[in-house]
Amino acid sequence: MIEVIRRLFRSRKVTSVGGKTMPVKRRKLLEQLEERLGMRFNDLSLLNQALVHRSYLNGKSATRNESNERMEFLGDSVLGLVVNEHLYKRHPGENEGNLTKIKSLIVSRQVLAELAEDLDLGKYLLLSSGEIESGGRNRTSIIADALEGVIGAIYLDRGLDTSRRFIRQLLLHNVEGFTESEEHINYKSLLQERVQSERKVHPQYKIRREAGPDHEKTFHVDVMVSGKLWGSGEGKTKKDAEQVAARDALDRWTKRKKERTARKPAAPGPSQGPAAAAGQPGQPEGRGRRRRRRGGAGRRGGGPPRGDSGGDRRPSRGRRPPKKD
């Protein structure tokens, strides 16, 4: 009974898109979401706007600024601030680079989409009929953006302290679980770091082709380094395709390094001489020299060659000189 009285007397803004009064059905739906979020909005229209996808405004007398894009922009900044603050205090020994890596995992689109699914956020979205038919209520990019929009709405309605408590309860209590999961790794960041470190250039992503209708496209992306193809991937969004391409590039790079290491000859040991290093194992040092011909200095020292009638040449053994008469 007390709760009924409170509902009758509480006053808050409940306008909808275009400044119109929010329908009772929509208002009750958002009150269900408030219970899931664990908070009550002073201005329920802020929560409503956080859930308005731009496709919903097509054909309506409303501007694009009434979608959730501006709140998504604000919520992304609030989320980044709270996560950075948490990591700064939690990991005093980590450098800026490692903190950035951890943050990129925590606030990745995949993680936010999983949290949005836990809240069943897709149920409360305002989408066009075409977007609904194409599975927009479960699309990773849409529900992840909507969660950032909700964070932006909380900040506008309740301030930073309430936003901080919400983010801690929703996300930061399980930081280790997100950072240890392989599916949350940001392969684009890893590839960029390695390429910049070893090649001093940036990887470039190019859309090779797009397949399928507008509401269900598949993107095929190549990642190039210094004009050469390093990896390829495909996905339902450009970002997903780029992630797959980056992972493919990292896998190929690791494979090439292993192959080069396997082909590299082992260095000669300390007991091996230069002959062994030259491909003659077991041969003593110096055996490879050309043997010197016998015969003294006759040929090498400038003496007359064989068959020359030198005046002081001695007769060969076994032959006697003829007797003189």
**Active site (catalytic) residues:** 76, 148
CB-side neighbour CA atoms (13 Å) of 165: 8
Residue 258 to residue 123: CA distance in whole angstroms:
49
Q: Report the candidate in 42, 40, 48, 37 with the shortest Cα–Cα distance to residue 169.
A: 37
The H or E element spanning position 219 is strand 218-225
Residue 205 to residue 222: CA distance in whole angstroms:
6
Cβ(167)–Cβ(152) under 8 Å?
Answer: no
Residue 324 to residue 269: CA distance in whole angstroms:
73
Residue 325 to residue 319: CA distance in whole angstroms:
19
